[in-house]
Each structure stands twice: as C-alpha cells, then as structure tokens.
Amino acid sequence: MRSVTRISLRVVVLTVVAALGAGGLAGCGQDGDSGDGRTTLTIGVFGAFGLKEAGLYDQYMRLHRDIVIKQTSIERNENYYPQLLTHLGSGSGLADIQAVEVGNIAEITATQSDKLVDLGRAEGVRRESFLPWKWAQATGADGRTTGLGTDVGPQAVCYRKDLFAKAGLPTGREAVGRLWAGDWRKYLATGRRYQAKAPAGTAFVDSASGVLSAMSGSGASRFYDQDGQVVYKTSPAVRRSWDTAARFARAGLTARLQQFTPAWDQGYANAAFATVSCPAWMLGYIQDKAGPAGRGRWDVAAAPRPGNWGGSFLVVPEAGRHKKEAARLAAWLTAPEQQAALFAKRGSFPSSRAAYALPAVSGATHPYFGGAPIGEIFSRAAEGVPVQIVGPKDLIIAQNLADVGMLQVDQKGTSSQDGWNAAVKAIDNALDH
C-alpha cells in the first residue's frame, strides 16, 4: 500500500478503488464492549487499506465468535498520520490496532516505541515468515518490533511491447529484463537505443523523478547512516541515483511528466512513454489509466536491481484496553495465508516470504499484462531487496529530491547541480521546522 506524498501516494492507488470516506482516527468513545458480551476491537487505517474489503475481518469474526471488529478510515495518510502521533502522545483516542505507512515507520519506531506493544513477542507472530528487510524496518535499536508488515512494493519495470517492437527492441519479458539486468546504467543505455528509433511522440520513460525514486529504493543505504544521521548530501548511492536520473532528462529520454498527476494519467492513455518503474501495487493503476487499449500491450519485466516502493504495517498501542486480543488479531491478519488472500483479492503484495510458496501467489498471472507471471516476478524482486537503513524523515527527503529538484531538471531544463541545490535547500528548510 502506498501513501499520498511521493513515497506515500502509494496506498490508496494500490487497487484504484473508491476511497473510503474520512472518519475518526480510531473509534474514539467506544468502550471495547459490543453490549452482548463480545469484545470489540477497533482498527484505524488510511485510504482503502484492503483488509476489510478483502473480507478478512468477517473471516476472523467467523472464527472467533467472541470478537467484533470495527474499522475507521481517514482517506489520506497525510491527514491520518499527524492525528496518530497526537493520539499516541496523549495516550487517548487510539484504536486497538493502527496502520502505519512505510514512510512513517522509522519515526514511529524511533520516537514512539515505548507507547507500542512489542509484537516480536506476541502470540502467533513468526518472525521467520517475514522478509528480513521488512521485519528490520519496524525493529528498533533496542530489538523491539513495533509493527507487523501487511504488504510491500517490490519493483519491476512495466513496458509497452508495441512501442518496443516499433523501436527495434525485443519484446519478450525475459529478453527485455536482460537488456538492463543488474545495472541501472544499462537501463539508460536501453533508453538511448529506444529513442534512436522511437515512435513519434513517445519517450522511453515517464519521468526522471521516477528513475530517481526507483534507483534510490534499490540500495542498502541512502538518506541515513547506521547512527541515524542524515547523510544524503554525501551518500554515493544517492548521488549516483541523482546523476543517472539527470542523464535521462538531459538525453531527452523522458516524457517530462510528474507522477500521480492528471498529465501523467493521460500519458498512459496516450501511450506517451514506453517504460515505467512499477511496484506490484501499480499494476491496477496502469490498467485503470491505460484502459482497454493498453490490454496485451503492457507487460512486466524484472527491474535492473531489486527495490521496494511502498508498504504498510500494523501496530498495537499500549494504551489499548485489549492489547492481547489486538496483538493476536494483528498476527493473524499478517500471517502468510491472509497475506496471500489479500494479494489475490486486492493486489497487495505480501511482506510474508512464506506466502510466496502458496498457490495464490506463486501461480498468479495478470491477463491485462499479457499473462505475466506476476507472482514469480515480484516474489523474486522482494526476496532480493536489501535491508535498507530507514530514517524518520525519509519521506521528506525523497519527496523534495524528486518533486522539487529533479522535477526542475526534467521539466525546466535546470542544470543537475542547480536542481540538486534547490532540493537541498527545500530539505534543509523542512528538516529545520
């Protein structure tokens, strides 16, 4: 699931369904008693989170007749998350279970750990079933694990087979993946090949910012170091990602679009670009925006390097009245079988590696994308993601690098250095306040 700032616009988009209406953060005023002797567990989420829509709450209540589950949702994470921090600070107004987006989990783990249950010790939680890097994202220096992963955003590259064919490039997904296997610079080189014979009015990639985000999501380090210090200005990985993305812009390989805008959506409808970095949750978005005309023309190949873009967690506040029951529910909702069911029904890719062997995942194909074996492609990507250092302000840094600095380079022709300076100024400003 994704959120609605650059790394965060990624949860409501997950399946492109109607957004839930805004609600209270977490069922304030409920007394935890249904009135008939059953225990009421409240869950606070943002957007169309998927657990309710996939029928998992109903299934749990059928298995546990003494439990009633009630969910409230706030449509956008940027409205939901500040309220969550406020309620954690006061110890009131919280649901028994709260959702946390990946862009916020480092801050929650670093600053709110004492207000959350250590789910690493909770009944029914099996650490070994989760991807190591996903588990690490919600585990603090003290060893306490405050969140259980619901989903991840392993990345691939979605591409238009018809445009590749017209440009003289291979179209089979295995052959396409080999064009750039192991190195983002090969992706750039492929873009130059494409552009040499590109169909009129098309570009190789949607945006330089998209390349920047994809590259930075595939490295072990980027914005913070092991000691929790902000190091993006001197990080070789960040600078390498920046320079490569800027080369896409300078070479005229991008459609100069900003992601998650009406113009970007129209770019899909008009077949304006041949490739886009796409985590698993973006498949539904592409299908919706490209429409029937894109069916069978879009396909999915492995990304140059495995990376992650998006994902969420469930946490259990210490202030809850029913912590044991809530932790048990959180463990069940994030167990392999439920994650596989959520993927089958909603497209949320499992954070549980144990789910990858289940038929709902291992055998998954996508008819819109030419029958692409998306279960296999995204499982391999997820298994290859490195354990990445995640910092509390990752979201702010990534958003400003992409939407302030790189956007100027891509759309206005600003020099790479001037774009970098603009991003740094915006980030410094944001981190100082």
Cβ atoms of 188 and 252 within 8 Å: the answer is no
Confidence (pLDDT) at 35: 67
- Rg, the chain, Cα only: 21
Instruction: Tell me how far CA of residue 128 lies from CA of 131, 294, 387, in angstroms.
Output: 8, 39, 15
Q: Could you tell me the pTM of the whole model?
A: 0.89
Strand pairing report for 308-315 and 97-101: antiparallel
Q: Which residues contact 429 (CB under 8 A, 6 or more apart)?
A: none
Residues in a beta bridge with 203 = 273
- Among candidates 361, 360, 356, 363, which has minimal Cα distance to 384? 356
pLDDT digit string, tens, across residues 143-172 = 999 999 999 999 999 999 999 999 999 999
pLDDT tens over the chain, length 433 residues: 443 333 344 333 333 333 323 334 544 434 456 667 899 999 999 998 999 999 999 999 999 999 999 999 999 999 999 999 999 999 999 999 999 999 899 999 999 999 999 999 999 999 999 999 999 999 998 899 999 999 999 999 999 999 999 999 999 999 999 999 999 999 999 999 999 999 999 999 999 999 999 999 888 889 999 888 999 999 999 999 999 999 999 999 999 999 999 999 999 999 999 999 999 999 999 999 999 999 999 999 999 999 999 999 999 999 999 999 999 999 999 999 999 999 999 999 999 999 999 999 999 999 999 999 999 999 999 999 998 888 889 989 999 999 999 999 999 999 999 999 999 999 999 998 7
Exposure string of 183-222, with b = 16+ CB inside 10 Å and e = fewer, is ebeebbebbeebbeebeeebbbbbbbbbbbbbbbbbbebb
pLDDT of residue 24: 45
**CA 71/CA 200 separation, integer angstroms:** 49
pLDDT of residue 10: 37
Question: Backbone dihedral region of 154: left (phi > 0), alpha (psi from -120 to 50 degrees) or beta?
Answer: beta
Three-state DSSP class for residue 397: helix
What is the identity of the amino acid at 406?
A: M
pLDDT of residue 7: 37
pLDDT at 432: 87
* C-alpha distances in Å from residue 72, one per residue of 112, 264, 280, 301: 22, 31, 26, 37
User: Looking at this protein, which amino acid is placed at residue 297?
Assistant: R
* CB-based contact 105:84 (threshold 8 Å): no
- Rounded-to-integer distance, Cα 129 and Cα 340, Å: 13
What is the tens place of the pLDDT at every residue in 355-379? 999 999 999 999 999 999 999 999 9
Q: Is 28 exposed, middle or buried (0-12, 13-18, 19+ CB in 10 A)?
A: middle
Give pLDDT, residue 54: 95
CA distances to 283, 357, 369 from 365, in Å: 12, 14, 8
**CB neighbours (10 Å) of residue 130?**
26
Question: C-alpha dihedral over 50, 54, 55, 59, to 10 degrees?
Answer: -100
Contact 22, 56 (CB under 8 A): no
